[in-house]
Amino acid sequence: MSNKRGFASDNNSGVHPRLLQALQQVNVGHTIAYGDDDYTHAAQNLLKQHFGETAQSFFVYNGTAANVLSLKAMTNSFNSIICAETAHINVDECGAPEKFTGSKLLSVETPDGKLTPQLIKKHLHGFGFEHHSQPKVISITQSTEMGTVYTPAEIKELTDFAHKQGLLVHMDGARLSNAAAYLNLSFQQITADVGIDAVSFGCTKNGGMFGEAIIFFRPELAANFKYYRKQGMQLASKMRFISAQYTELLKDGLWHQLASHSNQMAQKLAKEVAQIPQIKITQKVEANGVFAIIPPRIIPQLQAEYFFYMWDEHNNEVRWMTSFDTQPEDIDNFVAKIKELL
């Protein structure tokens, strides 16, 4: 079996050695199950340090659950959730957000994966009209599925706009670390300080093995969450193994080191393929993704050696993701292969 590092997904990478070691370190003796343990309390305290005093956090197993259950806590079944057409909740969660919340997803086409008040406006009507689903949440992804990053000002504009209309704002932060590293800002500066109400904060794509955190910044959203999590089958009995990964990532800046590295690798890849005249980069490269239109004839051969996903079959647009463990020579070899095939 070939375990060659490629550019298909940051989920394809393994686990950072320090996180594996952290799992090993907490693997001693017995501790209280279901999250009422010292390891989990320590991780929750660290999350407060990084996200601010209002942060109330809950761990779940994966990112889909983090999104679905946080949205569940923010909605009733007669509500609607506005998101980008490219949002993971819209295209990659098998309808789980609709199934578990009962709410309708209203998607918006965007040029770069980012929502703006202007783009959302068309969905803001029918308030109080019983025939119409009631808009309640705007869900944004940071960094986006297109590898772009919202600035704090862009987020604040959206949250002010949402709150004025009585809406809440959810952030899918599966790659929040990549966004914070790109902006060189703290997690608090791009969530609580700019009006975000709830965030799904991932660790898996930044070197973790499994586990994601949901952080609420409003006490009323957190109040009944433990029941939703249990009903949603996401209450981990051996929670210390999720908590330990968060502590390791957050205690001394490992999260930043790994996400910055991954972002830098995307910059390197973009810089090198930009010099190839037959390749056109289609999105700003800000986090750890590179989107490009490439000659279709080289795609199957390139994929055979370095598997990656097509983003838009019709336009021959591909998505290349870098990871915490991508090495400069991986990029050199990949670019050399592209040149050879061309």
Nearer to ligand PLP, 62 or 316 (CB): 62
Contact region with ligand PLP (CB under 6 A), list: 48-56, 59-67, 292-300, 312-320: 59-67
Closest CA to 208 of 143, 263, 259, 268: 259
The secondary structure of the chain in percent helix, strand, coil, rounded to multiples of 5, reads 45, 15, 40
- Cα separation of 320 and 41, whole Å? 37
Smallest distance, Å, CB 211 to ligand PLP? Answer: 9
Q: Decide: helix, strand or coil at residue 242.
A: helix
Smallest distance, Å, CB 8 to ligand PLP? Answer: 11
- Indicate whether 88 belongs to the interface with ligand PLP (CB under 6 A): yes
Residue nearest to ligand PLP (CB): 63
Smallest distance, Å, CB 187 to ligand PLP? Answer: 16
- Cα separation of 160 and 140, whole Å? 14
Smallest distance, Å, CB 89 to ligand PLP? Answer: 7
Q: Which two tokens stand for residue 153?
A: 């000002």
- Indicate whether 62 belongs to the interface with ligand PLP (CB under 6 A): yes
Smallest distance, Å, CB 61 to ligand PLP? Answer: 8
- Indicate whether 98 belongs to the interface with ligand PLP (CB under 6 A): no
Q: Which two tokens stand for residue 193?
A: 């300080």
- Indicate whether 107 belongs to the interface with ligand PLP (CB under 6 A): no
Using only C-alpha atoms, the chain has a radius of gyration, in whole angstroms, of: 20
- Indicate whether 63 belongs to the interface with ligand PLP (CB under 6 A): yes
* Three-state secondary structure of 167-200: CEEEEEECCHHHHHHHHCCCCHHHCHHHCCCEEE
Handedness of CA 96, 163, 203, 244 (dihedral sign): negative
The residue behind tokens 């370095």 is 306
- Indicate whether 286 belongs to the interface with ligand PLP (CB under 6 A): no
Nearer to ligand PLP, 145 or 286 (CB): 145
Given candidates 55, 162, 174, 287, which one binds ligand PLP under the rule CB under 6 A? Answer: 174
Given candidates 40, 141, 148, 243, which one binds ligand PLP under the rule CB under 6 A? Answer: 141
Residues 180-219 that bind ligand PLP (CB under 6 A): 204
- Indicate whether 145 belongs to the interface with ligand PLP (CB under 6 A): yes
179 Cβ contact partners less than 8 Å away, ≥ 6 residues apart = 142, 143, 149, 150, 173, 190, 286, 287
The total number of residues written for the chain in this structure: 342
Smallest distance, Å, CB 308 to ligand PLP? Answer: 14
- Indicate whether 319 belongs to the interface with ligand PLP (CB under 6 A): no
Q: Decide: helix, strand or coil at residue 214.
A: strand
Nearer to ligand PLP, 235 or 298 (CB): 235
The residue behind tokens 């086409």 is 109
Q: Give me the residues that bind ligand PLP (CB under 6 A), please.
A: 11, 62-64, 67, 88, 141, 145, 172, 174, 204
